[in-house]
Amino acid sequence: NEVFASMLGKVHNSIRQGDTFAGPLRQSKTVDLIVSNMVAVGEETGDLDKMLLKVADNYDEQVDVLVASLMSLLEPVMIICLGAVVGTIVLSIFLPMIGIITNLSAT
């Protein structure tokens, strides 16, 4: 993603100049405020790696919640589509049979 590449380039240049990691993150508005705050806390406490892991865990949890909600929305749609397919197959089998039976009973 070019937006993140540009933001990370600014972060890289900022770190090379001796600035903080969180400063360019706050200025870019590309990442959430919570991420830049957690990075700032990690820099101040010296536990940047742990804070970045917590950020990654937070995003993993958000993705899991979104996937679960998408699946819960997708299940009824799939059931309706499957019902339509089965109904079409049943009609395609029984309608010719009904036609044949009515023709045989008429003769």
Backbone Cα Rg of the chain: 29
**High-pLDDT (> 90) share of the chain, %:** 65
| Residue 18: band (very low, low, confident or very high) from pLDDT cuts 50, 70, 90 | confident
- Contacts for 86 with CB less than 8 Å, ≥ 6 apart: none
User: What is the mean pLDDT of the segment spanning 13-23?
Assistant: 89
- Predicted confidence at residue 50, as pLDDT, reads 94
The predicted model scores a pTM of: 0.64
Which residue range(s) make up the domain with 55? 2-106
Q: How many domains does the chain have?
A: 1
Count the neighbouring beta carbons within 10 Å of the beta carbon of residue 36.
Answer: 22
CB 43 within 8 A of CB 25: no
Tens digit of pLDDT for each residue in 45-97? 999 999 999 999 999 999 999 999 999 999 999 999 999 999 999 999 999 99
